[in-house]
Amino acid sequence: MNSLSQVRSLLVGGRVTSRQLIIDSLNRIDATKKFNAYITLEDREKLLNDADESDKRLQHQQQQQQSGVKRELEGIPIAVKDNFSTSKLKTTCASKILENYIPSFDATVVSRLKEAGAIIVGKTNMDEFAMGSSTSTGHFGASINPYSRDAGESLVAGGSSGGSAVAVKLNTVSAAIGSDTGGSVRQPAAYCGLLGFKPTYGSISRYGMIAFASSLDTPGFFVHNAVDAAILLDVLVGRDCNDSTSIEHPMQKKFQQYLNSRDNNQDMKGLVFGIPTDYLVKEMDPEIINLWRETVDLIEQAGGKVVAVDLPHTKYALPAYYILATSEASSNLARYDGIRYGASTSGAKSLKQQYMETRSEGFGAEVKRRILLGTMSLSRGSYDNYYNKAQQIRRLVSDDFNQVFNRQSVDILITPTTPSGPFKLGDNQDPIDMYINDIMTIPASLAGLPSASIPLAHSQSNNKSTPTPLSLQLIGNRLQDHKVLEAIQKIMSLNRYNNFYNQININ
């Protein structure tokens, strides 16, 4: 399946039908089951009926010789992470406790996709309750990175939105929705060689997205290029009365227009890129350091201005994040008690036993670990020493970014997305080692800033038949998502990178 913009062009031009796309999507899903990208699929007949209705609307548009796109995503198959509520379709959050939960409503993200004509083919795999960096902590097994080619070796897809990344990389859909709390879209995008976009916090509604850490959770997505990202931003961004944290965005419905108005070339004149020296950590792979340096050189050659910047509180971001996120998770997950909804143990002799057995049986090890950590941080003896101090660090991290963007007039920060490439499934069993995978993405999450991971090269440090991807992260100022899009388009159009997706074919 081609990129979102290419598929849309084919549909509008009558060169392919939505029914053909759905059949192709289902065939690819069936042929790639071993990668475990999906948890639940929509009913085949319903998908085909929806596709036929889209084809009728598209055909009418063609017969009337109507130009332009009436509905941005008419007839296009899209996958959605399994922590977004979908009416009449299971939403499990990859947890045993919600194994058979069927919502009665659509999340705002889902309803906006449907209003734009998209067809939701299924719900993708994830870490349980979005808690993880490998898509291996869920009740339904691990998703496998499509770059896992060597016999007997499975690479992680990244997490927690790994299923969505795998679904796009395997060409089962052109785009997939994920959620990003501390890097859960950007990290899988880096591991699977895709563009992963996390918008400004609040710009896309969280209504109907099952909460992990409410002040950090941000809907995001996986696509192939900046044009695709602009299409989805035009569809999804906007105030929602059902979400008190959602905001009006100055570029709402104007992302494609903005991107089209910019010079679609490699000229970087007028853009100021900041290089945070604090992101050069000892754990970083030398290949990623080299890619970072080479990309900075290419930006300067293309006319961009590059300056070194200081983000001095970056080193405190990781521990602060895990205190804040787990504290919010402890509160949010208190609702899963076996009484109101979700799985419930049978035979309990008291309400306390009901609670204990339901939660002990329903939650996996990583979720339990984070609930305990969060509960401890919120306890009377720890609240001031941990939670309050973590909030203070969050403010200092945000102030660092404000200093760089607003006082030093930097447009975009460019950093690595991850300190290393994808690791083998089963490695990094130590939770602390796993948490370090998010060290590059967490600061932007704490500040609520728009950021994206872009694939720019392949690793050459091994003898694998299929080298793994290497990516960099772009971070913009608050509500400057369009500037991030512009930087993505220009950097990915550089000669060294413009054929990235043609270098490798994942079957």
> Is residue 461 pLDDT above 60, yes or no?
yes
Side-chain-side CA neighbours of residue 121 (13 Å): 31
Is residue 257 helix, strand or coil? Answer: helix
Mean pLDDT of 420-436: 84
**Is 81 a known active-site residue?**
yes
Please tell me the CATH code under which domain 21-54+77-262+421-502 is placed.
3.90.1300.10
Give mean pLDDT, residues 52-59. Answer: 97
Span 319-330, mean pLDDT?
A: 98
Name the active-site residue from 95, 134, 184, 246: 184
The mean of the pLDDT values for the chain is: 94
Instruction: List, for residues 65-117, the tens digit of each pLDDT value.
Output: 666 667 999 999 999 999 999 999 999 999 999 999 999 999 999 999 999 99
Q: Where are the domains of the chain?
A: 21-54+77-262+421-502
| Residue 37, pLDDT score | 99
pLDDT of residue 396 exceeding 80, the answer is yes
8 A C-beta contact, residue 188 and residue 165: yes
Is the previous residue joined to 398 through a cis bond, with omega within 30 degrees of 0? no
User: pLDDT value at position 69?
Assistant: 63
If DSSP codes are grouped into helix, strand and coil, which group holds residue 465? coil
Choosing from 25, 81, 85, 471, which is the catalytic residue? 81
Give residues with Cβ within 8 angstroms of 479, minimum separation 6: 200, 203, 249, 250, 251, 450
pLDDT tens column, 336-376? 988 877 788 887 888 888 889 999 999 999 999 999 999 99
User: Given this model, what pLDDT does residue 222 score?
Assistant: 99
Tens of pLDDT along 375-385?
Answer: 999 999 999 99
C-alpha 104/C-alpha 124 separation (Å) is 19
Active site residue 111: no
Per-residue pLDDT of 243-301, as tens digits, reads: 999 999 999 999 999 999 987 677 899 999 999 999 999 889 999 999 999 999 999 99
Question: What's the pLDDT score for residue 503?
Answer: 47
pLDDT-derived band at 507 (thresholds 50, 70, 90) equals: very low
Query: Which tops the pLDDT comparison, 501 or 196?
Result: 196
Q: What is the pLDDT of residue 67?
A: 61
Helices of type H across 205-316: 226-236, 255-261, 286-301
Catalytic option among 3, 25, 136, 160:
160
pLDDT digit string (tens) for 117-171?
999 999 999 999 999 999 999 999 999 999 997 656 899 999 999 999 999 999 9
